[in-house]
Structure 1
Amino acid sequence: MKLSGDLRAFQGRIGHEFSDPALLVRAVTHASMSSANRDDNQRLEFLGDRVLGLVMAEALLASDRQASEGQLAPRFNALVRKETCADVAREIDLGQVLKLGRSEMISGGRRKQALLGDAIEAVIAAVYQDAGFEASRALILRLWGNRIDTVKDDARDAKTALQEWAQARKLPPPKYLEVARSGPDHAPVFTIAARLENGAEAQATAPSKRSAEQAAATTLLAQLEKSK
């Protein structure tokens, strides 16, 4: 199989030239483009998620030999969550080479966090199947770069951290309220308020409800820290 110019350039961006180009084509093919003669990337995404997890677990153990499981777990979660995977995908312009159906194209699929996160995991699996574990490991460490060394001890999910803060003070879990929505239907922007029963509140705006909730929780945690 001969790759398009865009996919050849993409190989250069990730630093891996495929012996079996069909694997790369499958990795960048979304389910909205699948057919009887065209496989999508869902099965590769399933495998890539596991390969990424193993590589990150090994890397974290090697980077801090004194860290406890309680310290390692939040770092691991921060490195493999969809937001991080999507950030990596954007850095290598993965969205540009995705093969999407018309509906996904119209709805801004090339920018969607979940779609990008799944696709980078599929690319990892494609490299794994093309050249083995060491090649996929090298790819991951190269693409994640200094994220592994700089991930913080408190890299917990912000919503989880805020809930734990409330529980420690015998407060009910925080509430997340949609206070505004703007933009076209295919690219909405949400403003979410994170609110505690004690009256503390913070708002944030993002292209998805989940991202806005996380950002609002992060802002509220920072406010609570300052008010100590």
Structure 2
Amino acid sequence: MDKRRKKSLESFTNKNNIFFSNYDLLDTAFTHPTFVFENKGRSFESNQRLEFLGDAVLGMVVAQYLYEAFKQEPEGTLTKMRAAVVCESTLAKIARKLEIGQFLCLGKGEELTGGRDRNSSLADAFEALIGALYLDQGIQVVKKFLEDKLLNELDKYELGNYGDYKTMVQEIAQKICGENVTYHIISESGPDHNKQFQAGISLKNELLAVGLGSSKKEAEQAAAKKAYDSLNSKNKKYNGD
């Protein structure tokens, strides 16, 4: 890592009250796969492995926090709450507050198509940051960081709705007709670094809604939200609410 890059990363850590002994870990956390792809033959590693680790660490810390903070809630509710906290949109919001986007190393195509502010890129980088911080400083530092940056602001992320529309629409479909919903990818377009997916959700072979997203999971959640709103409205009319 050159001095200019390290100085840039130090400005990030100073601004966000983080300490790193090994700045190579932080550099990797902010290295998008497209940057590595466009620099073949050079010793760059993408943030995908750190993202994998960070996802697990983040899930564990959030689960413990919810377990201790919401003592009356059953397992099913806690699971939905955790899904809302660690979802892509929430993590991207936190990443924007930390201004992670300006420190990302991106491929040229990703840069030109808005990758620096793309939800998926920001959420992945945030998870990779957690993985890097865990390896460098340990779990207690990670817990403190997440408490300051994420957990203390949970009331801003609509936990009452849990954010997991795939679970919610399944529950209401079972209630209405005792059937499971199904998902299928209708189409995908765009280059590998900027895919756009269109997902459909069906009930009893009837297409309920279509959603768009930068990942299959995001597209399915978007479709599930539309289907949930529609089914919930019909259910209320049927019950005279």
The bucket for the TM-score relative to the shorter chain is: 0.7 to 0.9
Counterpart of 2:172 (choices 165, 171, 185) is: 165
Q: Could you say which residue in structure 2 is the equivalent of 1:182?
A: none
Conserved 8 A contact 2:54-2:129 = yes
CA distance in 1 between counterparts of 2:180 and 2:161 reads: 19
Q: 1:142 to 1:226 in 2, by over 3 A?
A: farther
Match of 1:115 among 111, 121, 127: 121
TM value normalised by structure 1: 0.78
Structure 1 residues 37-46 or 186-195, which shifts more?
186-195
Q: Any idea what SS the aligned residue of 2:162 has?
A: coil
Cα 1:64–1:172 change in 2 (3 A) is closer
Instruction: Indicate the residue corresponding to 1:220 in structure 2.
Output: 230
The structure 1 residue matched to 2:84, chosen from 74, 78, 85, is 78
Q: Calculate the aligned-residue CA RMSD, in Å.
A: 3.5
% same residue: 32
Find the counterpart in structure 1 of residue 12 from structure 2. 10
Name the CA shift for 1:23/1:205 in 2 (closer, same or farther; >3 Å).
closer
- Counterpart of 1:17 in structure 2: which amino acid? F
**Quick check: 1:191–1:212 contact (8 Å CA) kept in 2?**
no
**Residues 30 and 47 in structure 2, CA contact (< 8 A), matched pair in contact too:** yes
Query: TM-score scaled to structure 2, two decimals?
Result: 0.74
- For structure 1, the 5+ residue unaligned runs are 179-184
Q: Measure, in 2, the Cα distance between the counterparts of 1:45 and 1:204.
A: 26
Larger CA deviation: 149-158 vs 138-147: 149-158
> Match for 1:29: what amino acid?
T
- Stretch of structure 1 that moved more, 188-197 or 26-35: 188-197
The 1:175/1:46 distance shift into structure 2, 3 A limit, reads closer
SS in 2 for 1:146: helix
Deviation, 1:83, is 2.6
User: Which residue matches 1:26?
Assistant: 28
Instruction: Tell which deviates more after alignment, 66-75 or 211-220.
Output: 211-220
Query: 1:204–1:50: structure 2 CA closer, same or farther, 3 Å change rule?
Result: closer
Greater shift in the superposed pair: 43-52 or 87-96: 87-96
- Equivalent residue pairs, number: 226
The answer to whether the 8 A contact 1:86-1:116 is kept is yes
Q: Tell me which residue corresponds to 1:147.
A: 154
Using a 3 Å threshold, how does the CA distance of structure 1 residues 37 and 200 change in structure 2: closer, same or farther?
closer
Segments of 5+ residues of structure 2 without an aligned counterpart are none
Paired with 1:207 and 1:135, the residues of 2 have a C-alpha distance of: 32
Distance 1:132 1:175 in 2: 41
Please state whether the residue corresponding to 1:169 is helix, strand or coil: helix
TM-fit CA distance, 1:216: 1.8
**Structure with the bigger percentage of helix:** 2
Amino acid at match of 2:169: L
